[in-house]
Amino acid sequence: MRPPTLEELKEARKSYSRADLAVGEPTINPELVSYVKMLREAGFEEIEITTNGRMLSVPGYAEKLARAGIKKFKISIHGSNPLTHDALTRTPGSFKQTIRGLREVSKIKRKYGLTINILTTITKLNYKDIPDMVAVFLKYPVDALIFNVFDITGEATRVAHILAPKYSDVEKTFYRAIKKYETAIRRKGVEVTISLPLCILRDEIKKHYGNYELIVLCDGPAPKASELRRGRVFIEACKECSLQNLCDGVWENYIRLYGDSEFVAQKIPPQSIKKERPHRSRRALRSPQRSQDTCASWNSSGNPRDRHEHQRQGGSRSSGG
């Protein structure tokens, strides 16, 4: 695939206000800095990157990207220690490199007004590590911790029996982490979300930390419900649930694996669920036109991808090791 021309990017800018370098591992593309500069020249002010963070450990590289125009670094980390993270990325040494990368971005965060998000895919192999992950990540000036529970869809279905955790097990460790670090999370204003159906989260948590389906990462009009709900079902309990409008249902493959006994119809009013995270509201105040924003996603060859796919990536993908 050829890279986009400046003219094509200028054309894309008319429809999209944000660009996300998110496909594959963008930092292995030697032209990345020039792509970022080109996006800036085309008028994009919000440029994001989703990365495994390893290249960011090279002294000066993160600053080059920031100077070129990257505003948000979304770094994938899947454990609090080398044992867990390196096993999941299947790359020995990747944890140390990624943490060094996070440190490099942290050093220049204030100078360039950067946002740092940590993306973590939660599997059977690391869900017990959530409290320690929160402890480690809070040592850095992060803006958001986004825990994406393994989606049993597409290719992932083949390994679901090995990797897909039971939601109620994940909820218990997530709850422990939140209770233990709540003061620090609030003091630092860190946005913490987890992609579990709201009925799995206990009330005190669901009102603040539930990620009712990935709307955190991308502004603009919601994608069609039919797209978000592909592969999901509303089960018997959902029919009586007061939160159905905030929910996209349950992965059908999850029900096949674990049954439906964890899902319980909710009675609480949907208005009691917090819709704006503090961090997001602050950004919205600085950008009065955000409500009209949409988001373009470009791979390292520069191909525009639809917003829905980007949104799923922002919420669900993990950058490899």
Token pair belonging to 47: 């440029």
207 near 161, Cβ under 8 Å?
Answer: no
Report the nearest approach of ligand SF4 to the CB of residue 165 (Å): 17
CA distance 264 to 238: 8
In terms of CB distance, is 70 or 255 closer to ligand SF4?
255
H or E, element range at 149: strand 144-149
Spatial CB neighbours of 245, under 8 Å, sequence gap ≥ 6: 270
Is residue 199 at the binding interface for ligand SF4, with CB under 6 A as the rule? yes
Instruction: For ligand SF4, give the closer residue by CB, 42 or 238.
Output: 238
Confirm or reject binding of residue 108 to ligand SF4 (CB under 6 A).
no
Binding residues with ligand SF4: total (CB under 6 A) = 14
Identify the CA nearest to 24 among candidates 298, 312, 309, 307. 298
C-beta of 238: minimal distance to ligand SF4 in Å?
Answer: 3
| Binding flag, residue 152, ligand SF4 (CB under 6 A) | no
Least distance in Å: CB of 74 to ligand SF4?
26
DSSP codes of every residue in 203-222: HHHHHHHB-SSSTTS--SSP
217 contacts ligand SF4 (rule: CB under 6 A): no
Among 16, 35, 127, 263, binds ligand SF4 (CB under 6 A): 263
Least distance in Å: CB of 195 to ligand SF4? 12
Q: Does 250 bind ligand SF4 (CB under 6 A)?
A: yes
Helix (H) or strand (E) holding 46: strand 46-51
Which residue is it, tokens 């993908």? 317
d(CA 221, CA 227): 13
Among 266, 297, 318, 319, which residue sits at the site for ligand SF4 (rule: CB under 6 A)?
266
Residues that bind ligand SF4 (CB under 6 A): 197-199, 237-238, 241, 243-244, 247, 249-250, 263, 265-266
